[in-house]
Amino acid sequence: MSEAHAPVESAAEEPDYFEVLVESMRELLVAKGLIGAGEVRAMVETLDAHDPTIGAALVARAWVDADFRARLRDDATAVVEQSGIDNYDQARFVVLEQTPDTHNLVVCTLCSCYPRALLGLPPDWYKSRPYRSRAVREPRAVLAGFGTDVADEVRIRVHDSNANMRYLVMPMRPAGTDGWTQEQLAALVTRDSMIGVSRARTP
Ligand code: FE
């Protein structure tokens, strides 16, 4: 977009409350020797290095490799760490498999806990109060809002994440993908399908 090249406004305005708070915290932590000046930047780099393609690769491999799928089901945390993925916030992972009978949906009712090492940073709606409260009270309506209709006979299970336990939903493999490579399949696995608000893309 051409707006990316628009001139940056000079900082005539006062910084807002949160900018002052963040900068003060950073200066205090550095001054007290609790963090190094480069650590915040390094953490931002780590956060930026993680995105949904990491989770999608795990799902696609599980679709084509039954042993891998079984290992993921048994101990997803171990598989993640053995796969060379940087589990930088030392989360414990649980993989939830979508089935024809059960649709899994993930929320953090308290805040924004999320499998960041596998999906990157959560979308804004995931952190919003309406999603956090409605996902538990009326999951079927929330899913419908995402364009995901779940039949009445399909059970919906809502999983509440916390600081130690992060859920990754494994969507069902779409029909019409026989013989597809892992890379082709991974392109069908969206972020939202790994949160459970939608299904994998269909070819
Ligand atoms: Fe949280």
In tens, the pLDDT along 21-34 reads 989 998 999 999 99
Residues with a known catalytic role: 108, 111-113
State yes or no: pLDDT of 84 exceeds 50: yes
Same domain, 38 and 77: no
79 inside domain: yes
* CA 30 to ligand 1 centroid distance, Å: 26
Model pTM?
Answer: 0.86
Instruction: Kindly report, residue by residue over 187-199, the tens digit of the pLDDT.
Output: 999 999 999 999 9
CATH code for the domain of 113: 3.90.330.10
Same domain, 80 and 159: yes
Residue 34 corresponds to which tokens in the numbers above? 């609790």
> What is the distance between the alpha carbons of residues 101 and 185, in angstroms, rounded to a whole number?
23
Same domain, 152 and 128: yes
Largest pairwise CA distance in the chain: 59
Is residue 173 a contact partner of residue 200, using CB atoms and an 8 Å limit?
yes
Phi, psi of 4 (to 5 degrees): -60, -20
* CA 99 to ligand 1 centroid distance, Å: 26
> What is the distance between the alpha carbons of residues 27 and 8, in angstroms, rounded to a whole number?
25
> What is the distance between the alpha carbons of residues 9 and 201, in angstroms, rounded to a whole number?
41
Same domain, 70 and 167: yes
SS3 94: strand
Domain range for 44 is 16-48
168 inside domain: yes
150 inside domain: yes
* CA 13 to ligand 1 centroid distance, Å: 33
Count of domains forming the chain: 2
* CA 109 to ligand 1 centroid distance, Å: 7
> What is the distance between the alpha carbons of residues 107 and 130, in angstroms, rounded to a whole number?
11
The overall average pLDDT reported for the chain is 93
Same domain, 38 and 88: no
